[in-house]
Structure 1
Amino acid sequence: MTAPGAVAPEPVAPEPVADEPVADEPVADEPATPSTTARTLRRLRGALVAGSLLTGALCLVASSQAHTGTDAIGERAAPAVLRAEAAYGALADAQRVAVHGFQQGTVVLGGLGDHYRNDIAAINQNLAELAGDNVAGPASASDLQLVAGLVVNYNAELEQAAADYQQTGELTRALPALWYATLQYREVSTTLDRLRKEENAALTARRNSMWLAGAADLLFLVPFTLVLVLFARTQVVLRRRFRRRSSILLTTAVLALTATALLCGLSLRVSDGRLRSALDGPFAEAVTLAQQQACRSAEQADRDLYAIITQAGPTTRSCGTDLAPQTSGPATVGAEQTGHQQAEAEEAFTSGATDADAYSSVLPALLVLLTAAAAAAAALALNPRIDEYRFGGQ
């Protein structure tokens, strides 16, 4: 109670009490702090998947490029060389047959003959096929056009010489046209020889390309080795932090990726070996036989032409020729047998090139399947460990 007249004291409001911090309740699905191990596992998983896919993709690139190179050699570059050799040989044989007919006098009765016309047809056919297979570029295409025109002129001069001989029965009246035809023959021969060298150079360049010379292996072997090291690193992490000595999925990924690299590498080696065997064996034999036969035909034509000119006049220098005198012995002995051997060699090369092309095309679907299996196994192998740190759904 208060005394009468005293003023009652005002009630004092209680001092506010500072709010006490309330601890946040931990969320059931998240740890308080992120885990370094979880981040490491996720990085390893991404690197393993990316490395597996990169290795498989590079295997596909190497296999595809090797297949393209083998196909280009077997289907175009090598046949182009053979067609150039065949045209050169047919030209030499046409000159041999024509000059021999003049020298023996058979042109008076039957003209240049079917054999000669078959040779001219063979020249034109081989030139047409060569135009389709040409891999030597614009220079070779220009030479092809030049040869085609020169062959027309050469044939026209020989036909004129044969007509002069048949009309007069005198070889000397046919000699000027025959000599002009010979000059045309030599120009065609020179151009065809240049064409052969161009096609051979193009073939050699493709044969020595990096895709067919063994360097393509490095394209996928380097990343493959790095990925294997990464797999080993992942296994070390699993062993130290989870005491897991091995992982079936990681082992599967390694085996699948190894199978991809081995399949690609072995197919490249087998394909390259078969292609080189075909080129060094039957292809080289076919080219050698064609050149030998062409050389024999050209030598026989020169001997017969020398005999014609010396018969017509005592000196040959007046015609501007350096023909050699005739020697004994036929120059074309075994021509049919040589042609048969050449055809067999070309057939053997075609078969060998086809086999090499089949090995270089390595079943891309199988490479894709193995690569996908390696990447999937690598990803799934680490998911359970990442889930232990509750990062599986993030």
Structure 2
Amino acid sequence: MNIGWPRGRAGETSTPRRLLLLAGLVVLATLAVGATAVATVLSQRHTAVTLADRTSPTVVDAVRARALLADADLVAAQSLLPPGSWGPPTVQFQEDIKTAGQALARAAENSTAGEADRAQIQAVNNGLLVRYQGDVYIAANAVDDTPAAPPATGGPAAAGTGTGTGTQAATETVSLTGIYLAYASDLMREPTGILSTVAAFQARNSANLPDEGTAPWALLGGHLAAAVALLVLLARAQVFLRRRFHRAMSLGLLGAAVVLVLLAGGLTVLTLRTSHDIDRGVRETTAVACLWQAREAAAITEQDRTFDEYAPTLSRGAVLPAATDIQNDPDGQDGGAATDGCDGQAGVAAVGQADGGGPAAVYQARDARLGVLVGERTTALDDALDGAIPGAGLPWVMAAGTLALLALGAFAFWPRIREYGS
């Protein structure tokens, strides 16, 4: 009897200690579950918001600016080179430059590539682009300083002389206009020029797009590990309470187990869905960028053709890469095109196959069709980015779930703790 009494007293004394130890471990595991749940949701939301508000818009603005600037360069050539069409660039030229400048300003503001890249784009917008416009307007005004050809008088011989003089004056004017247009085109398309600088900026921001399958997997794994540990503790607590207090089932522990499973399962589903939506947003960003790049390449090709036709001595084709090179050559002017995943993009190849008619008609039809595709894919991109962002209230939902777990745990443990305290 004397030997058994200390053991009985030790067993009774150890019961409240074990109860308190179990309660403390449940509280710690619950806090770990809640902290990892909130951190997982916040990490996903940060990734999705950065994609939707900064990275994707920056990439699209940069490539859109490239296409608009290439179109402005084409419009300048079409406005100034063909005989009988000399004069200031059209409203389309001014609209292209204005819209491209606005896109570059937004891209610089939202850039995720660093301050150096932001400053570089601002320098393009405020420096190189101003110089480019200056060269174009000098080309437009070059005809003002050229004296008109003297009127032809007399017989056929005199008429022939007058025609020759007029042709010579026109040739000189075309040459002067073409030279300044070539200066402007060099500034736009040379390896260190406007298009190449913007393309490099775009490529660096494209590199910051989330990789496929991006998600806070480590945080989710930590959450699931904490959830499993908590579930084991809840089961252990239920066994302890049944043995010590003869209770078949603790409603508090059962409710906590149900809330825990719902919390962990819901967070897992949310993470998988958000990861899928982010992947879709990246794919749509790439698709839109590729379509804008196709428009840029088409405008460059058509400008080359315009120089070949009206100013062959200043032909750009022998100096600058053709559109196919821009799209497919990693070492060409637009080295990001191939690595951005533009090869085989749906719609671009089909546009080329549907083209027909003369060169100008082919370009117009191709550009119009690409414009329609850009609009369609931009709508799909907006939908994808909107769907990728988890709700702003989800972190609070996770916090509320954590408080519910703590309350249910207290409901299960506190009455038993009070029994020993009294």
Same fold (TM over 0.5): yes
Is the Cα contact below 8 Å between 1:297 and 1:332 reproduced in 2?
A: no
- Equivalent in the alignment of 1:174: 177
Q: Greater relative contact order: 1 or 2 (C-alpha under 8 angstroms, separation 6 or more)?
A: 1
Provide the C-alpha distance between the structure 2 equivalents of 1:292 and 1:72, rounded to a whole number of angstroms. Answer: 26
- How has the CA–CA distance of structure 1 residues 227 and 111 changed in structure 2, closer, same or farther, with 3 Å as cutoff? same
Q: 1:63 aligns with which of 28, 35, 41?
A: 41
1:369 paired residue number? 400
Q: Give the Cα–Cα distance (whole angstroms) in 2 for the partners of residues 273 and 323 of structure 1.
A: 37
Alpha-carbon separation, structure 2, partners of 1:322 and 1:294:
14
Report Cα offsets for 1:159-181 as digits up to 9, x if no partner. Answer: 10111135435201222212211
State whether structure 2 residue 108 is matched by structure 1 residue 105: no
Which residue matches 1:353? Answer: 385
Using the TM superposition, give the Cα deviation of residue 38 of structure 1 relative to its aligned residue in structure 2, in angstroms: 1.2
Residues 106 and 274 of structure 1, relative CA distance in 2, 3 Å threshold: farther
Instruction: Kindly report which structure 2 residues correspond to 1:316-335, keeping only aligned pairs within 5 A, or say none.
Output: 321=319, 329=359, 330-335=362-367
Change in Cα spacing, 1:32 to 1:243, as seen in structure 2 (3 Å) is closer
Shift of 1:350: 1.4
Counterparts of 1:1-394 in structure 2 under 5 Å? 35-105=13-83, 107-108=85-86, 110-148=87-125, 149-168=127-146, 169=170, 170-186=173-189, 187-204=193-210, 210-211=215-216, 214-280=217-283, 282-310=284-312, 313=313, 321=319, 329=359, 330-357=362-389, 359-361=390-392, 363-388=394-419, 390-391=420-421
CA–CA separation in structure 1 for the residues paired with 2:53 and 2:64 = 17
**2: distance between equivalents of 1:202 and 1:347?**
22
Q: Which runs of 5+ in 1 are unaligned?
A: 1-30
How many residues of Structure 1 are paired with residues of Structure 2 in the alignment?
349
Task: Tell me by how many angstroms 1:316 deviates.
Answer: 5.9
1:130/1:196 CA distance change after superposition, 3 Å: same
Task: Tell me the secondary structure at the aligned position of residue 246 of structure 1.
Answer: coil
Paired residues of 1:83 and 1:130 also in contact (CA < 8 A): yes
The equivalent residue for 1:13 is: none
For residues 81 and 194 of structure 1, what CA distance do their matches in structure 2 show?
A: 11
Task: Give the counterpart letter for 2:66 in structure 1.
Answer: Y
Query: TM-score under structure 2 normalisation?
Result: 0.76
CA deviation after TM superposition for structure 1 residue 334, in Å: 3.6
- CA distance in structure 2 between the aligned counterparts of 1:210 and 1:271, rounded to whole angstroms: 8
CA positional deviation for 1:118:
0.9
Asked whether the equivalents of residues 63 and 361 of structure 1 are also in contact (C-alpha less than 8 Å), the reply is: no
Do 2:242 and 2:248's aligned partners in 1 also have CA atoms closer than 8 Å? Answer: yes
Deviation at 1:51, TM superposition (A): 1.1
Q: Deviations over 1:62-97 (max 9, x none)?
A: 101211111110111101000001100001101111
Query: Cα 1:156–1:384, aligned 2, differ >3 Å: closer, same or farther?
Result: same
Per-residue CA shift, 1:309-355, capped at 9, x if unaligned? 32xx4x869x983577xx96333424233223212321221122112
Verify the 8 A CA contact 2:105 2:122 in the aligned structure 1.
no
Aligned to 1:28: none
- Structure showing greater radius of gyration is 1
Give the AA of the match of 2:398.
L
Task: Check 1:106–1:372 CA distance in 2 against 1; reply closer, same or farther (3 A cut).
Answer: farther
Query: C-alpha separation between the residues in 2 aligned to 1:140 and 1:209?
Result: 25
Q: Alpha-carbon deviation of 1:307?
A: 2.8
Once the two structures are TM-superposed, the CA of residue 238 in structure 1 deviates from its matched residue by: 2.4
Displacement of 1:254 in angstroms is 1.2
SS in 2 for 1:60: helix
- Amino acid corresponding to residue 152 of structure 1 in structure 2: V
**Range moving further from structure 2, 186-195 or 345-354:** 345-354
Whether the 8 Å CA contact 1:165–1:174 is kept in 2: the answer is: yes
Give the CA deviation at 1:244. 3.0
The DSSP-based 3-state class of the residue aligned with 1:172 is helix
State the Cα distance separating 1:217 from its structure 2 match. Answer: 1.3
Displacement after TM superposition at 1:264 (Å) = 2.1
- What amino acid does structure 1 have at the position aligned with 2:30? S
The letter of the residue matching 1:113 is T
Distance change (3 Å), C-alpha of 1:32 and 1:103: closer
Say if 1:106 and 1:269 are closer, same or farther in 2 by CA, change over 3 A.
Answer: farther
What CA deviation, in whole Å up to 9, does each residue of 1:201-220 have, x standing for no partner? 12246x77553xx4431131
> Percent same amino acid at aligned positions?
25
**Cα separation, 2, equivalents of 1:179 and 1:144:** 23
Letter in 1 for 2:57: P
Which stretch shifts more, 40-49 or 172-181? 172-181
Partner Cα distance (1:275, 1:191) in 2: 28
- 2 CA distance for matches of 1:210 and 1:119? 39
Give the distance between the partners of 1:171 and 1:287, measured in 2 at CA.
Answer: 36
RMSD of Structure 2 on Structure 1 (CA): 2.6
The one-letter code matched in structure 2 to 1:379 is: A
